[in-house]
Chains A and B, each alone.
Chain A
Amino acid sequence: MAGKKASVWTSISFWRRSAAWVTGLATILLIWLTFDTMAQIRMGTDQELKEGIKRRIPAPTVINYKIDYKYDEKRGLEAPVIGPEKQPLFGKELSPKEAAALLHLGKLTSQSKNCMDCHTLLGNGGYYAPDLTKAWLDPMWEQTMPAMTGKKTKEEAMVAFLMHPDKYPTHARMMPNLGITEQEAKGLVAFLKHMSSIDTNGYPRGFSKTIKEFQTGGTYAK
Chain B
Amino acid sequence: MNQDEKLNIIKDILLTDEREFVSAIEKKIKILENTVNKKENLSVKVDPIIETKLNEFVKEIPETLGPTITEALKTEIKNSQDAVVEALYPILGKMIKRYVQHEMKLLSERINNQVNKTFSFKRFFRRAKSKASGINESELILQEQTNAKIEQIIIIEKGSGLLLAEYSKNKMADEDMVAGMLTAIKSFVEDAFKKESQNLQYIEYDLYHIHIQNFSSFYIAVVVSGAYNVIFKDQLEDKLFEFADKEKIVKHLKNKSLLSKKIEDFFKNDSI
Do A and B make up one complex? Answer: no
- A: residues with CB less than 8 A from B are none
